[in-house]
Amino acid sequence: MKNKYIHSLVALALLVSCKDKLAPVAEDAIQPTIITEQTIYDTDDPAIWVNPIDKSKSLVIGTDKENGGGIYAYDLQGKIDNKHLDMARPNNVDIVYGFSYKNELIDIAVVTERNANAIRVFRLPELTPIDDGGLKVFEGEKEENYNEPMGIALFEKKEGEYKSLLAIVGRKSGPSEEYLWQYKIQSDDAGKLSLELKRKFGTYSGKKEIEAIAVDQELGYVYYSDETVGVRKYYADPEKGNQELAFFAKEDAKRDHEGIGIYKKDDLTGYIIVSDQQENAILVYPREGKGANPHDHQLIAKIPVSAIECDGLEITSLGLNNTFDKGMLVMMSNGKVFHYYDWKLIQQEIDKVKK
């Protein structure tokens, strides 16, 4: 019954693709293991919360991007576990563990709320807001769309015995330089949250927008998609400067470079995965670079998937349950859903190319 349900939804998605002239799914595309229940409006970006006590009870946190939309928590079977609605166009989401809040350490999801010009902070797994309605970003910007947050990625910086939480935020539009703003998220003893602007950085081509952002916590880098142009790489730590370290994937996508995720084999190696939106495929790059150059990211493989015109994606290499024992790739797909892919299927395709 489960397989029948999955295949029927895949067929429905393909019909939607044909009807609306969306990017076609390749005949040899990898099929999702799970398709989530539908949201109300339009899914956009996922994150994965790994339950520290029982990984089989981990959740996928995803956004539904429209006024009145919100964030959803799905279980590993794709069922909606919880949701927080009536937001002003939530866009992207990222997760961090062990955030210091009211004398305890909690896990949080941080979400951009585009039409409120703010970021939102929710306690996990309950999806309880702890931000008094939101924290304003890009204050002082007067150009149209310059203060509308879209992408977000979190970086934890060690400061002695403590860690500070830094949020890198992108937006609908911005200047050719200093497109990204990086904030420190702070909480006082009473639990009141605030932002401190730490830096402005990041080149922008002006071609479309910058939405997908991903941080490699262990290696200390941030990647972002300059859509239709390529993927740019910088240091995630503001104290290491604003030099662009790499600009890659420039000729590899059919058009829009979108979601970015990191598959970690260990602390130093793995893959950078980028969604090729109009090709319905993922682009695979070496996380560690090539040879002696950690910033040389050459295409390893382009793998067709069934996710239709994917905006956002996320990956974990941790075994979650018997189905996703080597990790899971989550991709937004047209049709108000997210796709869960068994990482073993992705790895098989990468291994074919390597041979």
DSSP 309-345: S---EEEE-S--SSTTTT-EEEEEETTTEEEEEEHHH
* pLDDT value at residue 66: 96
CA angle 217, 148, 273 (to 5 degrees): 35
The contacts of residue 108 (CB under 8 Å, 6+ apart) are: 95, 96, 99, 101, 121, 122, 123, 124, 130
Per-residue pLDDT of 14-57, as tens digits, reads 444 444 578 899 999 999 999 999 999 999 999 999 999 999 99
What residue numbers bound the domain in which 167 lies? 2-354
3-state SS assignment for residue 239: helix
CB 178 within 8 A of CB 146: no
Residue positions counted in the chain: 355
Closest C-alpha to 178, from 204, 154, 198: 204
Closest C-alpha to 116, from 99, 131, 94, 96: 131
* CB environment 105-133: b (16+ within 10 A), e (fewer): ebbbbbbbbbebbbbbbbbbbebebbbee
DSSP H/E element including 16: helix 2-19
CATH code where residue 283 lies? 2.120.10.30
DSSP H/E element including 111: strand 104-113
DSSP H/E element including 96: strand 90-101
* pLDDT value at residue 64: 98
Per-residue pLDDT of 83-115, as tens digits, reads 999 999 999 999 999 999 999 999 999 999 999
pTM of the model: 0.93
Other Cβ atoms less than 10 A from the Cβ of 149: the count is 28
* pLDDT value at residue 104: 94
Identify any residues that bridge with 85 across adjacent strands, giving them in sequence order.
none
CB 29 within 8 A of CB 304: yes
Identify any residues that bridge with 221 across adjacent strands, giving them in sequence order.
216, 235
CB 214 within 8 A of CB 260: yes
* CB environment 233-256: b (16+ within 10 A), e (fewer): bbbbbbeeeeeebbbbbeebbeeb
How many folded domains does the chain comprise?
1
DSSP H/E element including 210: strand 210-216
DSSP state of 190: T
Segments in the chain below pLDDT 70: 1-20
* pLDDT value at residue 20: 56
Instruction: Provide, rounded to the nearest whole percent, the portion of the chain with pLDDT above 70.
Output: 94
The position carrying tokens 């956004």 is 63
Closest C-alpha to 199, from 180, 214, 226: 180
* pLDDT value at residue 5: 44
**Token digits for 203?**
């080149």
3-state SS assignment for residue 56: helix
